[in-house]
């Protein structure tokens, strides 16, 4: 079953989200499979829609922090397990249409470009030039944060789900959305007019 094209999340924490997603896609296909593979798969897919989880591609991490493909899926959803080398707990899922953008961000990080604004600038310029493919339809990135994953219960502790809906080159005028968040939880458009334009949807944080 194909995954419907959709997109992404944020708020002032959105910049951190962008930096995270830029390095999410693993490339270590030859890395040794981790002992906790099943746990990583189980936690990763919880970020995505339930109807697409069983057939999703899942990427995760070895104990040394190397990226590895844990499961090759049969639909268009890609999910990433929590990276144990990073602070906090977070997983994400997104459609394959936005994958080139995520891969490019990771490549730039590997080249030593650690400044998130510089990675964005490079990718936007490449997208404008037509050398970096961008989704033709909206593409939704689901980001699930929490205090950790309870493997026995198969649930995230204190889950907090938010979304970022990529609509490259969209503007406030074309969407009718404010370029800044007007109220807590209200959608707004981030980076309007750029290849990285996306609608941020961040519900009020759990109390």
148-150 and 160-166 beta bridge pairing: unpaired
Work out the average pLDDT over 203-207.
80
Q: What are the pLDDT digits (tens) for 62-110? A: 887 777 889 999 999 999 999 887 789 999 999 999 989 987 987 787 6
Position with higher pLDDT, 31 vs 145: 145
For residue 155, pLDDT beyond 80: yes
For residue 200, pLDDT beyond 60: yes
Query: What span, in angstroms and rounded, lies between the C-alpha atoms of 64 and 203?
Result: 34
Q: What are the pLDDT digits (tens) for 15-71? A: 444 444 544 444 444 457 888 999 999 999 999 999 999 999 998 888 877 778 899
Contact 172, 192 (CB under 8 A): yes
- Greatest Cα pair distance in the chain: 50
Which tokens go with 15?
């910049």
Residue 173 inside a domain? The answer is yes
| Residue 199 φ/ψ, nearest 5 degrees | -85, 125
| Residue 177 φ/ψ, nearest 5 degrees | -100, 145
Residue 207 inside a domain? The answer is no
pLDDT reported for residue 25: 45
Which tokens go with 46?
């919880």
For residue 130, pLDDT beyond 90: yes
Query: What span, in angstroms and rounded, lies between the C-alpha atoms of 159 and 17?
Result: 16
**Cβ-based neighbours of 168, under 8 Å, separated by 6 or more:** 127, 134, 135, 194, 195, 196, 197
| Alpha helix segments (H runs only) across the chain | 14-22, 37-45, 99-110, 116-129, 172-175
Work out the average pLDDT over 137-152.
96
Work out the average pLDDT over 160-174.
97
For residue 13, pLDDT beyond 50: no
Position with higher pLDDT, 80 vs 7: 80
Residue 59 inside a domain? The answer is yes
Residue 70 inside a domain? The answer is yes
CB atoms within 10 A of CB 145: 21
Q: How many domains does the chain have?
A: 1
Work out the average pLDDT over 132-138.
97
194 pLDDT band (50/70/90 cuts)?
very high
Residue 78 inside a domain? The answer is yes
Instruction: Give per-residue burial for 52-71: e unless 16+ CB within 10 Å, then b.
Output: bbebbbbbbbbeeebbbbbb
Candidates 176, 98, 186; CA nearest to 142 is 98
Residue 206 inside a domain? The answer is no
Which tokens go with 158?
């204190």
Average pLDDT, the chain: 85
Query: What span, in angstroms and rounded, lies between the C-alpha atoms of 47 and 161?
Result: 7
pLDDT reported for residue 21: 52
The 3-state DSSP class for residue 74 equals: coil
Residue 126 inside a domain? The answer is yes
pLDDT reported for residue 72: 95
Percent of the chain at pLDDT exceeding 90: 66
Domain hosting 189: range is 14-201
The 3-state DSSP class for residue 155 equals: strand
pLDDT reported for residue 31: 56
Which tokens go with 14?
């959105």
């Amino acid at each position: 079953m194909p995954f419907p094209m959709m997109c992404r999340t944020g708020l002032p924490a959105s910049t951190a989200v962008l930096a995270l997603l830029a390095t999410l896609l693993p490339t270590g296909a030859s890395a040794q499979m981790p002992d906790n593979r099943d746990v990583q798969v189980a936690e990763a897919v919880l970020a995505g829609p339930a109807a697409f989880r069983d057939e999703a591609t899942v990427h995760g991490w070895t104990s040394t922090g190397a990226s590895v493909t844990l499961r090759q899926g049969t639909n268009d959803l890609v999910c990433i397990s929590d990276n144990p080398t990073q602070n906090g707990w977070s997983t994400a899922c997104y459609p394959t249409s936005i994958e080139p953008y995520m891969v490019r961000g990771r490549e730039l990080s590997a080249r030593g470009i650690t400044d998130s604004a510089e990675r964005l600038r490079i990718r936007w310029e490449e997208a404008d030039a037509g050398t970096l493919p961008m989704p033709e339809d909206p593409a939704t990135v689901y980001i699930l944060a929490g205090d950790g994953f309870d493997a026995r219960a198969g649930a995230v502790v204190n889950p907090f789900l938010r979304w970022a809906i990529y609509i490259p080159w969209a503007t406030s005028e074309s969407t009718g959305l404010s370029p800044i968040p007007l109220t807590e939880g209200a959608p707004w458009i981030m980076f309007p007019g750029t290849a990285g334009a996306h609608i941020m949807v961040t519900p009020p944080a759990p109390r």
